[in-house]
Structure 1
Amino acid sequence: MAQKSDFTLPIVISAGIHIGVLMILVMGVDFSDKPKPQPQVSAPAMKAVVVDQKLVAQHVERLKAEKRELARKEKARQDDLERQATEARQQREREQAQIKKLEIERKQKEIETKNALAAAKAAQLKQKQEKEKAQQAEEFRKLKEKERQASEEAAKKAEAKRKQEEAVAKKAADERKRKAEAERKRKEEDERKRKALERERQLQEQMMQDALAEEQAALSQTRNRQVTGEVVKYTSMINATIARYVQKEESMRGKSCTVFVRLAKDGFVTTSRIVEGDPVLCRATQAAIQRAQRLPVSSEPDVYEKLKELNIIYRPTFN
């Protein structure tokens, strides 16, 4: 509002001056015009009119000079007013810029103040938290100290108990060691006696085994001879049985055929296969075995073992 009133007064004054000048100009217009035709007068009258016109012209010139002076002064005043207005505007702009700068600074100060308050609150909160943390740490330390003391006390009791138990265990271990040593010596003595008896028993068994072996060898030789004799006997009986079934031809004279046979315990021929020999004789020999179906075999196991798989060599005889 103050700035607006500063411009109102100069404007009103300027407007008044312009109106006054305009009125003077309007009123003085007739003085600059050419004089109107006048009625014919006498010379004295004309002289008086001329004088009056000079006075009027002088008056008009004076008025015009005053008017120009007023216009000059008015222009100077207007220029001064415009200068003042420009200075006032510039001053106002400077003031507004200063106000704006101060406002920015004020807001910056407010922000800094808020930040400082926030930082102070944060610092107080952190200090409070650190204090609480320190209190908790101290309480935890005290608790741990109590636990440590209790643990040390328990460790001392455990150590005393351990030493006592170790003493008891050592005594028991010494007793066990003494008993183990006595037991070891007893076992060594028993083992020595056992080995001596074992050597004696083995010597007796060896002597008995040697005697039995000699007897078995003698019996085995006798039995082997018997088995061999039985095998020879039954081989001859098998050849005789085959001979009964072979259809002889003169072309077989002086020839032989070897046939492999496998016999069941009752003498039944389970397998017969030509090994080598005259083809005609071998076919006849194999046919004879198939017709016979069973061949002589011993019921004695050891003799049967020699006869159950046998290569029969058959040679036909002619009268």
Structure 2
Amino acid sequence: MADKSDVTLPLSISAGIHIGVIIILALGVDFSHKPEPMQQVSAPAVKAVMVDQQKVANQVEKLKQEKRDTERREQERQAELERKAQEATKAREREQAQIKQLEQERKQQEVETQKANEATKLAQVKQQQEKAKAVQAETERKLKEQERKVSEEAAQKAVEKRKVEEAAAAKAEAVAAKAETDRKLKEDAERKKKAEAERKQKEDAANKLKDEAERKQKAEAARKQKADAEAKARAQQEQEMADALAAEQTALSQTMSKQVQSEMGKYQAMIKSTIQRNLVVDESMRGKTCTVSVRLASDGFVISSQTQGGDPNVCRAAKAAILKAGKLPVSPDPAVYNLMKEINLIVEPTF
């Protein structure tokens, strides 16, 4: 509606101006005088009337041409408006498509946000469940620890009772043993008296044989003395050579032993440090120790570990720390490894 009013107003103004011009021209004729008698119209007068009519015709044609031009411009303007309207429609369609795409993306983002929130809730629930399991495990551990203490107390009482019974049995056995000993002593005294008489007889015979043997021994001793002197000289020479070689071997062995001991000390310290890093301690372990026997592969892999004695809590923590480490430091020197492939360590928690 606004477009049509914009066109109608200029056309109305233009038509009004042209009509006004025609009326003015028409009013230019003087109607106040009475008509004069007809006279013969001369040629110039006819010519003037014709000229005026030609002007009017020209003016009318001009107005028609202006109207046609106005209509043509209006058509062109309408075509331009339609083109702009089509472009605006296409722009609105593109905008609607973009809005639809953005709405889809927003919905997708909402879905992803909802999934993320659900995943977070699930993780929180899982964490709470794990925490509850840990609390339950700790409660069960404490119950087992109490049961173990009760069992140990019962075992201790049983041991003490057994010791009392064993002491009574030992006392009874001691009385019986004393009686048996007295009997055996009496029998031994009689056997010794009889044996002494037999010994004296055998001793006399033996003395005779001994005198003969001594004579033979003196002769043999003289012969051996000469041979011993020769052997002694040879042995002394061999001993001197052996002593020199042994001294050299001892010095070399001491040097190597010091090196091996130093290397062993270094790797034992490294192994203890590794265990300490993985050791989970609590206040109940303060001042307590555990001896652990460990077998190691050549690459440090822990083949086995056994506790040899000590505080049970420290021993459990030590075995767990060794298992967690998996590998322990070992020396690349075969001699050091052979001495350390089975080692005993004293684990003492540090605070």
* TM-score above 0.5, yes or no: no
- TM-score normalised by the chain length of structure 1: 0.39
- Name which one, 1 or 2, has greater alpha-carbon Rg: 1
Q: So what's the TM-score if we normalise by structure 2? A: 0.36
